[in-house]
Structures are given as C-alpha cells and as structure tokens.
Amino acid sequence: MYVGKYEDYALAKLVVNKLSNGGIETLAARDLEVKNMGIPKWDGSTSIDMAMVIGGDGTVLRFIHEMGNPTNMPILHIGTGRVNYLSDVSARELPPQVLDKIIKGEYIIEERITLKAISADFECVALNEVLVKGVDPGHLINVTVVEDSGEEIMRARMDGVIIATPTGSTAYALAAGGPVIDNRLTTKLIVPPLAPFSRALVPIVHPFDIPIKVLTSEVAHILCDGTVAQRGAEIRIMPCDRRIKFVRTRQYRMYDRLLRRLFIP
C-alpha cells in the first residue's frame, strides 16, 4: 500500500478493511503508511501479488521511482487526482465490485513500455518521458538529436527536448504541443517544444527500438518522469527491458479517458 496524500488515508483504510475481510493481507510500503494506517511494513522477505497505489498519476510515478518496484509487481492504481489517466478506477467511482474482483483474482495485467536514459554518471527509467532542458531558465542551448547510426534527426537552439513513450504522450509532451500516441503502439515521441528558436521544428514519432542521443552545447538537466534530476551533455535514450504492469479489473478505454479527463474542461 502506497498513499499519495494525507487526506487519502481514510479511503486507504476502507480499502484495507475490505481486503482484510476477504482474506487479503495488506502491507505498508513506507513508514508513513505504518504510522497512518497501523499495518505492518513490507520488509522484502515475503512475496507480494500487487502494489496498491492511492493518489494521482504523479503518485504512481513517485512510487515507481521511490520504491523501485524490485519484484516488478503489478500496480493497482486507485485515482484520487484530477486526471487519473493511469488508474484502473477513480475514488469517486470505486464500486465494491472492483475490490471483490481483486479478492477473487478476476483481473488482467496490462504492460506499458519504458525508456532508459543513460549519461556518463547515471541511468534512469521513464514510464512517461525523458526531459533534457537547460540549467538556466530562459537561456537557450544548442540541442542535437541523432540516431546511433549517425543520422541527425533535429538540431536547434531551444530550452530543451522531450522524448516520450506512448503513455507519456498524454502528459508533458501533450501539454507541449505533441500528438497523442495510442498506448498499444510501440514507438516513441520526440517533442522540441520548449521555446525553440526555429518555428520549423515539429514533433517526430520515432521507432521505439532505435536508440538516439541527445547532445547539448552545455551541461543540461536530465529528468525521468519529472522525479529524477541529474546533469549531462550527452544522453543516450534507448528501449528498456522493464515493463510497468498495471492491474485492470475492466477494459482500459484510452480514447474515452482522453475525452472525459483530458479534453473536456
């Protein structure tokens, strides 16, 4: 159990009680859950069937990066945020049948592809996007994106560039003017949205399995899903073997979510 905000612990306790009555043991991911819910903390020695995350989409990303998800357990996301794009169900519409399905094992696992960013001193995994941006706000840097073969994809002065997965195409990349990519496709998106000096630059849908390099004229910030920040001037971005698994108790309808949660005020 991993909970995003203090006000979500009341819901978390109701969920834990329901699962407990169904014979499902719940363990805490952090000391925060131990303190606020009174459940024992997972010490890594016992097998876990799934991780339950209660919060917004940002809470899911924090869980992935903070906890590391070492056993690659599937995530049941109960959304309490505004968009809840990754969630199986939102807190507002959480019917008892959803938890009944979890207790009975009546669910499927959906997998999402990820990207790996590698620099000289670190590497990180991104479910949504890798962002490379200048260290000084308002100061443009020269950014070049090339394939491993040496073919240049783009070169320009800008604040930065986003390389997104299909999942991430509905997040920062969308806000920056990129297109939405169906999450059933295996591809990536290169968006040069951050104050490009040239208006001729356009987002590029690029083959997922072809690695690219982002070269900057000076040291830049590198962020994976907005939660991991390092610095570098040459970043290699490639497919990652890791898949993020989500529990689905019902069909995931991507376009319905786009209409109801992203495009309708």
Confidence (pLDDT) at 265: 52
The two tokens of residue 118 are 């590698």
Active site amino acids = 57
pLDDT at 62: 93
Annotate 175-193 with DSSP letters as a single string. Answer: HTTPPP--TTS-EEEEEEE
pLDDT attached to residue 197:
63
Q: Which segments in the chain show pLDDT lower than 70?
A: 69-71, 193-199, 261-265
* Tokens of residue 207, six digits: 């083959």
φ/ψ bin of 39: left (φ > 0), alpha (ψ from -120 to 50), beta (otherwise): beta
pLDDT for residue 169: 96
What do you get for the CA distance between the two ends of the chain, in Å? 31
Measure the CA–CA gap between 86 and 75, rounded to whole angstroms: 10
pLDDT, mean over the chain: 90
Q: What is the model's pLDDT at position 257?
A: 82
pLDDT value for 143? 93
For the stretch 203-248, pLDDT in tens is 999 999 999 999 999 999 999 999 877 888 899 999 999 999 999 9
Backbone angles phi, psi at 13, to 5 degrees: -65, -40
Q: How many CA atoms lie within 13 A of 196 on its CB side?
A: 18
Angstrom distance (rounded) from CA 96 to CA 6: 23
CA distance 222 to 120: 12
